[in-house]
Amino acid sequence: DTEVTQTPKHLVMGMTNKKSLKCEQHMGHRAMYWYKQKAKKPPELMFVYSYEKLSINESVPSRFSPECPNSSLLNLHLHALQPEDSALYLCASSQVERGEYEQYFGPGTRLTVT
Amino acid sequence: RKEVEQDPGPFNVPEGATVAFNCTYSNSASQSFFWYRQDCRKEPKLLMSVYSSGNEDGRFTAQLNRASQYISLLIRDSKLSDSATYLCVVPRGRALTFGSGTRLQVQP
C-alpha cells in the first residue's frame, strides 16, 4: 500500500473558487513533487521541493501555488482555474541522499473545473 | 528525438505468454532507469529500478543496453493482473521524464 496520502480524492470547483490539495508522506523523504496527468498521457512534472524549499517550477501558471509547511506535508493551492486544468493531480516523494531517485506516488486527486 | 520513447502498443497477449516492451532514451549520461506500472485511473507504482546492466524480479526482467541507449522490460508467464500501462522513466536531475507508456492487455 502507498505511504503517500492525498486529500481529497475528488474535487469539483468553479473557476472563481479557491481550494487546496493536500499530500502527506511518512517515509522520511526530503523531496516532494506535484505532477499533473491528463487522460491517456504520462504524468507531467509541476513542482519539486527539496528540504522544504522549492527547487523546480516547470513554468506552471501562477494560479497553482505550492507550499511545503514541513518535511511531511505538501499543499497545492488552486485559484481561478480554467476547465483545461481538469486532471489527476499526483503527489510523489523520494529520498534525496545517495542519488536515489525512485519516486513513490500518492493515489492522486481527480480535479474537475467547471 | 524525444527524451524517452516507448513502443506505442497496445499489446494484446494471452495468459501465459511472454511479452517484451522497449524503451529508448536520448540522454547518454543517464545512470538509472525505472519501470512503473499504472492501472486505469490509479497512480503509477514503481515496478523495477535498473542501475546496472539489468534487474530481475520474479517474472519480470529489465535489461539495459547503454551503448544503444535502450531499456527493455520482459514479462514471462503473463497474468490477467499484469494488464496495465507500463511507463519507462528516466531521471533528469531531481525530475523524472516519463515515456508515453505501453498498454498491455492480457486476455484469458
Contacts 24+ apart (CB under 8 A), B61-67: B62/B33, B62/B35, B64/B33, B66/B28
Question: Cβ B43–A55 below 8 Å, yes or no?
Answer: no
Q: Tell me the three state secondary structure of residue B58.
A: coil
For the ranges A42-51, B2-11, B26-35, the maximum mean pLDDT occurs at: A42-51
**Cell numbers placing A47:** 513542482
Q: Do B44 and A43 touch (CB under 8 A)?
A: yes
Computed over every residue of chain B, the mean pLDDT equals: 93
The pLDDT assigned to B44 comes to 96
Q: Is A36 exposed, middle or buried (0-12, 13-18, 19+ CB in 10 A)?
A: buried
Which pLDDT does position A98 carry in this prediction? 63
Residue of B nearest to A50 (CA): B94
Interface of A with B in 48-67 (CB under 8 A): 48, 50, 55-56, 58
The phi, psi pair for B76, rounded to 5°, reads -100, 155
A105/B101 CB distance under 8 A: no
User: Which one is predicted more confidently, B80 or B94?
Assistant: B80
Closest CA to A50 of B98, B94, B32: B94
A20, A34 Cβ separation under 8 angstroms: no
Distance of CA B97 to the CA centre of its chain: 13
For residue B84, CA distances in Å to A52, B39, B77, B78 come to 34, 5, 15, 12
Q: Which of A54-58, A95-99, B63-67, B87-91 has the lowest mean pLDDT?
A: A95-99
| A73-108 tens-digit pLDDT | 999 999 999 999 999 999 999 988 766 678 999 999
Q: Which three three-digit cell numbers place residue B69?
A: 541507449
- Measured in angstroms, the CA of B98 and the nearest CA of chain A are apart by 6
User: Do B43 and A101 make contact, defined as CB atoms within 8 angstroms?
Assistant: no
Query: B105: Cβ–Cβ under 8 A, 6 or more apart, which residues?
Result: B10, B11, B12, B13, B83
